Amino acid sequence: MKTSINNKELEAFAGETLIEVARRGGVSIPSLCYSKEAKHNSSCMVCAVKNCATGQIIPSCTTLPTEGMQIDSESPDVILTRTLSLELLLSDHRADCDAPCKVACPGDFDVAMMNRLYDQGKWEDALALLRDTLVIPATLCYICNAPCEKICRKGDVNRSVSIREIKKELVLKTEPDKISKPESNGKRIAVLGSNPTGLSAAYHLRKRGYDVDLFERESSVLIPYIQAEQLPATILELELAVIKKMGVKIIHLAEYPAFNGYDGVVAVVHENPNPQWLVPQTKAKQPARLVLEGRKLAAQMDVVLSGEQTDKEQDSMTFNSTYTRFSSSEKKALDEQVAVQNNPSSCLYCDCDKKTICKLRLYAS
């Protein structure tokens, strides 16, 4: 039989529901509870569509099409129905998507995931997550004011998780000689300036396969922090060894060259940047935020040079459900739970470990 969805005529087979016809025909209809193998209760109404003949809003996961049926899945009243359905679901959703420590981190670091890996003894995985997000994690432990520890929910129970100490412990397990050098894609990038943004941009561009030269006019990187005696030189040397081992060349010059022969230039420190250079669009001063900016600059440069877009679905995960402070009874229960679990980190894991694939979060965003 023939049915029409968004003015697109589709063939419907016996026993198929509207959502199955739509998806087979290339029409996207969102759903939370739909599974071909499961019984459909049409309870969430996120897959709502409109019967154009009657004006009725119907669930596409349970409705069987009829000959000549015309369906609209994009009208304002359909979108409103889906929005209201999501709001009802979220109104009873007492949980965090991202843990407070991740939300508070200027570098957008997933602290809870690091703690999970740490507690499972997966130190190499924890260190890889730490390095790939914060690039110079131990350095940041010395020069960041640790908002993650200040907002840690464990502090409501007894005392906050020692996040900085866990990071330092992991970094000290680094073996630069075991760092592998990513294969070159044949394109060269110059990065001007070795502040946290420059180091981060250089690291992430190298990970993507670009040959990176990092230019610095000072005698060393991160000079302001070293002069302020915030940062032990041994820690900086260890983290720079990782970046160099990956293949980033750090070049100290009194004056920047003309940059002929480079496919792109990222200028994080320059008085007169060329209009064709990629420059930061933020005035952030927090070191971890500067690292995040470097990660973004690397992704932007990669899009420009490769033409490949980033993961739009993952980028759209902006919604974050949040939980209120613990009640006295909850604090007592959590204190007992922590004692039983005996995790080395003492983390409560108060985020959702499915947060990157949650459809509820995706559609709410």
What is the SS3 assignment for 211? strand
Q: Return the CATH architecture of domain 2-91.
A: Roll (3.10)
What is the SS3 assignment for 10? strand
More confident residue, 203 or 317: 203
Torsion angle, alpha carbons of 269, 273, 276, 281, to 10: 50
Asked whether residue 312 carries a pLDDT value surpassing 50, the answer given is no
What does the pLDDT look like over 254-282, one tens digit per residue? 788 888 899 999 998 877 778 888 888 77
Domain boundaries, the chain: 2-91, 100-174+320-364, 181-310
- For the structural domain made of 181-310, what CATH number should be given? 3.50.50.60
- At residue 235, the pLDDT reads 85
What does the pLDDT look like over 179-228, one tens digit per residue? 889 999 999 999 998 889 999 999 999 999 999 999 988 766 776 666 66
Number of other residues whose CB lies within 10 A of the CB of residue 145: 11
Are the CB atoms for 30 and 46 separated by under 8 Å?
A: yes
Rounded to an integer, the average pLDDT of 164-179 is 89
Please spell the DSSP secondary structure of 54-121, one letter per residue. Answer: T--EEETTTPPP-TT-EEESSSHHHHHHHHHHHHHHHHT--S-SS-HHHHH-TT---HHHHHHHHHTT
- At residue 41, the pLDDT reads 67
**For the purposes of burial, counting CB atoms within 10 Å of the CB of 147, is it exposed (0-12), middle (13-18) or buried (19 or more)?**
middle
Q: What is the reported pTM?
A: 0.79
- Longest Cα–Cα distance of the chain, Å, equals 78
- The gap between the terminal CA atoms of the chain, to the nearest Å, is 36
Asked whether residue 320 carries a pLDDT value surpassing 60, the answer given is yes
Asked whether residue 100 carries a pLDDT value surpassing 80, the answer given is yes
How many angstroms separate the CA atoms of 57 and 67, rounded? Answer: 18
Instruction: State both tokens at 302.
Output: 């990669």
Rounded to an integer, the average pLDDT of 290-307 is 92
Lowest mean pLDDT among 40-54, 110-124, 194-208, 315-329: 315-329
Number of other residues whose CB lies within 10 A of the CB of residue 179: 15
How many angstroms separate the CA atoms of 221 and 199, rounded? Answer: 9
Q: What is the CA radius of gyration of the chain?
A: 26
- At residue 313, the pLDDT reads 41
Are the CB atoms for 199 and 135 separated by under 8 Å?
A: yes
